[in-house]
Amino acid sequence: MPTNQHRHKKRFGQHFLHDSRILDLIVRCIQPQEHDHLVEIGPGQGVLTAHLVKHAKRLDAIEIDRDLVQFLQQQFIQNNVFFHQADILKFDLTRLPMINSKIRIVGNLPYNISTPILFKLFKHLNQIQDMFFLLQREVVVRMAAQPNNKQYGRLSIMTQYHCQTEQRLDVPANASTPPPKVESSVVQLTPHTTPPCVANDFTHFSHLVRDAFNYRRKTIQNALKGHVDANKLMQMDINPKRRPQELTVKDYVNISNTITATAR
């Protein structure tokens, strides 16, 4: 397994996994197969990469740290692994050769930009089979939260609109160097084969959810004032006195689709 004296760079949010037991458990969650095309975001020192490259048909690793990329290229001589020095938020996934119909994405995401990365990847789900990410546990809990839970919010709805979401593994802070100040978890995201509901105007749906949770303490009729009135909500069988966190993904899609249909 690669080792390196590379000093972590705070600006990149680097926390390098080192616990071999946790690494084994993460690999078991992913279950890489010999025909897989894997994409690893933030390989760091390559400890997970070393496990994955043994199984995958091709592995593309995207790393923003130029020094780490140079190190990794020296450490890995296998002909099925490719390193890209790039910011994942700017990286064009369509550049990757599609050796399979879908890619599988894994990564230890920088906690400070994990949500923008997720929202970027949601735009490429037609390319993606599944995703496994190590994230701040609080973020994973929010992603998987159900209605009537205080953790349920915009991230829950947007994630679950796109994917089946499962919290797979809790990871203690001391499994990484330097240890993050928060606990972490591995989440599995599997894009819906058949979406349970479809927003006719996704941009409108996204803005509607954002606006609702900007006022999560208000009733839904007040939170969405300017979008829809109480009578229209009741026609959709939605109690206008409910709070934003009490509505399901389907409820928000229904509201958005009704509004956009009326506007035509």
CATH number of the domain enclosing 255: 1.10.8.100
Say how far residue 27 (Cα) sits from the centre of its chain: 18
Parent domain of 144: 10-191
**84 lies in a domain?**
yes
pTM summary value: 0.89
CA quadruple 191, 193, 195, 198: dihedral sign: positive
Examine residue 32 and say whether the peptide bond preceding it is cis (omega within 30 degrees of 0): no
Give me the long-range contacts of 6-14 (CB less than 8 A, separation at least 24): 6/45, 6/67, 6/68, 6/71, 8/177, 8/178, 9/65, 12/64, 12/65, 12/110, 13/110, 13/111, 13/112, 13/113, 14/44, 14/65, 14/110
DSSP 8-state code for residue 181? S
Quick one: pLDDT band at residue 264, thresholds 50, 70, 90? low
Question: Are 156 and 180 within one domain?
Answer: yes
Each residue of 206-217: pLDDT tens digit?
999 999 999 999
**3 lies in a domain?**
no
Each residue of 11-48: pLDDT tens digit?
444 456 778 899 999 999 999 999 999 999 999 889 99
Quote the number of domains for the chain. 2
Mean pLDDT of 86-104: 91
Mean pLDDT of 82-111: 91
Say if CB 43 and CB 136 are below 8 A apart.
Answer: no
Question: Are 187 and 231 within one domain?
Answer: no
Q: How far apart are CA 216 and CA 223, in angstroms?
A: 7
Which of 134, 11, 121, 2 minimizes the C-alpha distance to 66?
11
DSSP 8-state code for residue 152? -
Burial of 211 (0-12, 13-18, 19+ CB in 10 A): middle
Each residue of 175-229: pLDDT tens digit?
777 666 788 999 999 999 998 999 999 999 999 999 999 999 999 999 999 899 9
Looking at 169, 191, 213, the residue that finishes a domain is 191
Q: Note the pLDDT of residue 110.
A: 82
Residue 1 reports pLDDT greater than 50:
no
Question: Are 26 and 124 within one domain?
Answer: yes
Q: Note the pLDDT of residue 262.
A: 80
Question: Are 38 and 151 within one domain?
Answer: yes
Each residue of 130-178: pLDDT tens digit?
999 999 999 999 999 999 999 999 999 999 999 999 999 999 878 777 6
Question: Are 42 and 140 within one domain?
Answer: yes
CATH number of the domain enclosing 120: 3.40.50.150
Mean pLDDT of 57-63: 96
Question: Are 164 and 243 within one domain?
Answer: no
Average pLDDT value for the chain: 90
Q: Note the pLDDT of residue 135.
A: 93
Looking at 151, 171, 191, the residue that finishes a domain is 191
Question: Are 129 and 230 within one domain?
Answer: no
